[in-house]
Homo-oligomer: A and B are copies of this chain.
Amino acid sequence: MTGLRAKQKADRNRRILEAAASLFREVGYDSARIEDIAERAEVSVGTFYNYYENKGDILVATVSMEVEEVLESGKAIVENPPPTTLEALQVLIDQYFDHSLVYLSKEMWRTAMATSIQQPESPFSRRYTELDGRLCDQVSMLVQKLQLRGAVMPGIDAVAVGQMVFNNLNMMFLEFVKDEAMTLETLKERVARQNRPLAVLISSPKIQ
């Protein structure tokens, strides 16, 4: 078994993904036609559909790569967070937000989110959802870390708090990408305001 078939498959998959990602960046999601993506990847339109269920799918795949990077960069913060609860949460969240528009436009985010909602059973949507779950876990882990350090009161359900913080920032991010006029700064400020009450309440009195 030489694996020639597997090698060709992986190569085609990479070419299609790269072709799509570059075209999306150049002309935007809507203007990039499957025919164009297929041509740049040097495959036929039919082959494109052998690798991705539909157009939205390949965008979700692109976004997934981006989220992987964000997860990686968040790891460092969770391992060695700032002392106070509010600060620690904010540093992690700002990191997420700052990363979000490096490779992707708001339009691309909108389409990716919409696709992953509309076709939750497609493989790449599952992957996107799974990555979302890992981001959520990362926030929960930060809260747990702070609890171990004594910055967060014992007895608090760190996982529940982490999920709530994550769900909140996720919705705020959604509002952000829906509004072309909103700046990253505005987003950060709003999330900071919303986190403050919870962060203060769960913090140990002596640290506060």
Contacts of A161 in B (CB 8 A): 197-198
Of B168, B178, B194, which is within 8 A of A117 by CB?
B178
Interface hits, A185-206 → B, CB 8 Å: 193-198, 201-202
B120 touches A197 (CB 8 A): no
Mark the stretch among A46-54, A69-77, A169-177 that contacts chain B: A169-177
B178 & A171 in contact (Cβ 8 Å cutoff): no
A: number of interface residues (CB 8 Å): 33
Chain A 154-174 against B: per-residue CB contact (8 Å), 1 yes, 0 no? 001100110110011011101
Partner of A164 from B116, B118, B120, B168 at Cβ < 8 Å: B168
A: which residues have CB within 8 A of B?
110-111, 113-118, 120, 129, 156-157, 160-161, 163-164, 167-168, 170-172, 174, 177-179, 193-198, 201-202
